[in-house]
Amino acid sequence: MFWHRNIALAAVAALSISSSALAYEFGRTATPEEMKPWDIDVRPDGKGLPDGSGTVGHGKEVFAENCAACHGDNGQGGIKDRLVGGQGTLASDNPIKTVGSFWPYATTLFDYIHRAMPYQAPGSLSVDDTYAVTAYLLNLNGILPDDAKLDQVSLPKVQMPNRDGFIPEPEFRKITNSR
Ligand code: HEC
């Protein structure tokens, strides 16, 4: 039994050594053009936000068409997460965690929607539609006015209600968010 296990371990070790040697013998470095569709991360301070813009008004249409089926009309929640409301409840006995009550950075909303929503077709929204639906969700949460328009300059300036509700890890303390 013990003997068999040792043989199995040796086989696994041999396999991993040979495959790491082989790893250098095929493939090539991806070109910047090939990496572009994957290089979509947006940082808390807005670094990485693409060119483009979107209004609350247009975001309402984008939401109705692409999001309301799961998140409910006006983001009040449906078969999936509620996205609106809950501000001021986090320290209560019945905390309601939403984008508006919990998330510290508005830029993360853009990043998340752009990479992950709509759930069944991630990456399908255009940059402009993503700015628009981000603006609409922030408007529903009372964070942006009805006539707001977001782009790579204005989005990082949005101050989220729970911005200071987190204790950052020391390595992230240097990140500042324009107010
Ligand atoms: C088919 C159903 C579906 C559709 C359509 C959909 N979502 Fe979602 N959404 C989900 C699910 C499921 C989650 C939770 C995913 C998880 O936790 O991994 C989620 C999570 C989210 C969250 C994070 C909520 C939180 O507090 O963590 C946001 C923001 C969001 N969706 C926005 C959108 C937007 C904007 C659209 C339209 C462009 C959209 N979703 C369309 C199913 C959907």
Q: What pLDDT does residue 177 have?
A: 60
Sequential DSSP letters for the chain: -HHHHHHHHHHHHHHHHHHHHHGGGS--PPPHHHHGGG-----TT-TTPPS-EEEHHHHHHHHHHHTHHHH-GGGS-SSS---S--TT-TTSSS----HHHH-SBHHHHHHHHHHH-STTSTT-S-HHHHHHHHHHHHHHTTSS-TT-EEETTTGGGPBPTTTTSS---GGGTT-----
- Which residue of 61, 117, 126, 139 sits with most ligand 1 atoms within 8 Å of its CB, as the best mutation to test the pocket? 117
> Of all atoms in ligand 1, which is nearest to the CA of residue 125?
38
Q: What is the pLDDT of residue 170?
A: 82
- Amino acid 169: pLDDT: 81
What's the maximum distance between 2 C-alpha atoms anywhere in the chain?
Answer: 73
CATH number of 53-165: 1.10.760.10
Annotated domain spans of the chain: 53-165
The CA 122 to ligand 1 mean position distance, Å, reads 10
The pLDDT of residue 26: 82
Quick check: 122 and 115 in contact, CB under 8 A?
yes
pLDDT in tens, the chain (179 residues): 455 666 555 555 555 555 555 567 788 999 999 998 889 999 999 999 999 999 999 999 999 999 999 999 999 999 999 999 999 999 999 999 999 999 999 999 999 999 999 999 999 999 999 999 999 999 999 999 999 999 999 999 999 999 999 887 888 777 666 54
- Identify the residues whose C-beta falls under 6 Å from ligand 1: 66-67, 69-71, 80-81, 83, 98-99, 109, 112-113, 117-120, 125, 133
Tally Cβ neighbours within 10 Å of residue 27. Answer: 7
The pick from 62, 73, 76, 81 for probing ligand 1's pocket by mutation, whose C-beta has the most ligand atoms within 8 angstroms, reads: 81
Residue 6: Cβ within 10 Å count: 9
Q: What is the pLDDT of residue 61?
A: 98
